[in-house]
Amino acid sequence: MTTSSPGFPPPAPACAASQPPPARPRRGLLIGLVAALVLALAGATVWWTNRGQADPLAGRPRVTDAEAGLSYAVPEGWEHDAAKDEDLVDGFSSQMTRKGADGQGSVVMTGRAGQPVPRAGLARAADAAARSNAEFFYPDSHALVEDSRPTTVDGRPAHTVVLRITATDGTTAHLEMTVVTADDTRTAFLLGITSGAPQAPALRELDEITADAAVVPATD
């Protein structure tokens, strides 16, 4: 049974983790706050900047997603294609990918919730959003919560849920969903998915991207 997550739309059906979901018509399962989110996401304004802070990603190019109100670094080996942002399924406003030697890899996508999630509801929202996206990326697969932890993004309250997914072909993937309360009127999210081996370094990289993310002014 699929559980739709308020304001955090599931992506298109199963695809390689290194490929973000293509645009397609909204499905009936995108309900509740998803409808509000789709109305809010008319498109993304993304530009490149550099931020020189003492962190593992200092000095790397950055993507600033003005629709979600988030900025994140592009690690070495990753690629951001602004043209692909315009082709994302409704609800996601920016993306970057890393292709692995085995044809698998990682993807990070960001977006903005249709309405703010209170701090007390961050854990539940992150869990529901993670499970919903896992079901759509890997239908009929088994997903197990590997981690669920409160955190912060740029000093704002957030919650991260990590799912270990056993796909129907026997391969393993991980999905990491972080939901952040940017301010009293806005909640955003970062979704990371990695597949192929080894998983541990890829997960550490997703954690570094999330830890380095910054909250920026968002467009209405």
Domains parsed from the chain with CATH numbers: 33-215 (3.40.1000.10)
pTM for the complete prediction?
0.79
Judged against a pLDDT cut of 90, whether residue 80 lies above it is answered with yes
d(CA 62, CA 50): 6
Higher pLDDT, 8 or 26: 8
Q: What are 118-161's pLDDT values in tens digits? A: 999 999 999 999 999 999 889 999 999 999 999 999 999 999 99
Closest CA to 10 of 102, 143, 100, 148: 143
Q: What rounded mean pLDDT belongs to the chain? A: 79
- In order of 96, 97, 184, 210, the CA distances from 192 in angstroms are 10, 10, 25, 9
Res 22 pLDDT > 70: no
Cβ atoms of 107 and 125 within 8 Å: the answer is no
Return d(Cα 119, Cα 150) in angstroms, integer.
Answer: 10
Query: How many Å is the Cα radius of gyration of the chain?
Result: 16
Q: Are 40 and 129 in contact (CB under 8 A)?
A: no
In whole angstroms, give the CA distance from residue 41 to residue 111: 8
- Cα 71 from Cα 45, distance rounded (Å): 11
**Mean pLDDT in residue range 103-117:** 88
Please list, in sequence order, all residues whose beta carbon lies within 8 angstroms of the beta carbon of residue 136, skipping any fewer than 6 positions away: 2, 10, 11, 12, 13, 14
pLDDT for position 5: 44
Is pLDDT of 10 > 90? no
DSSP result, 144-173: EEEEEEEEEETTEEEEEEEEEEE-TTS-EE
User: If you average pLDDT over residues 113-120, what whole number do you get?
Assistant: 86
At residue 8, the pLDDT reads 63
Using one digit for the tens of pLDDT, what is the confidence trace for 179-218? Answer: 999 888 899 999 999 998 678 999 999 999 999 999 999 8
Residues above pLDDT 90, as percent of the chain:
60
The answer on pLDDT for 11 being more than 70 is no
Tens of pLDDT, residue by residue over 160-173, are: 999 999 999 888 99
Is the pLDDT score of 34 beyond 50? no
Greater confidence (64 vs 15) lies with 64
pLDDT at 21: 54
The size of the chain, in residues, is: 220
Amino acid at 148: S
- 101 versus 147: which is more confidently predicted? 147
What pLDDT score was predicted for residue 20? 59
- Note the pLDDT tens digit of each residue in 36-60: 232 222 233 333 334 444 678 989 9
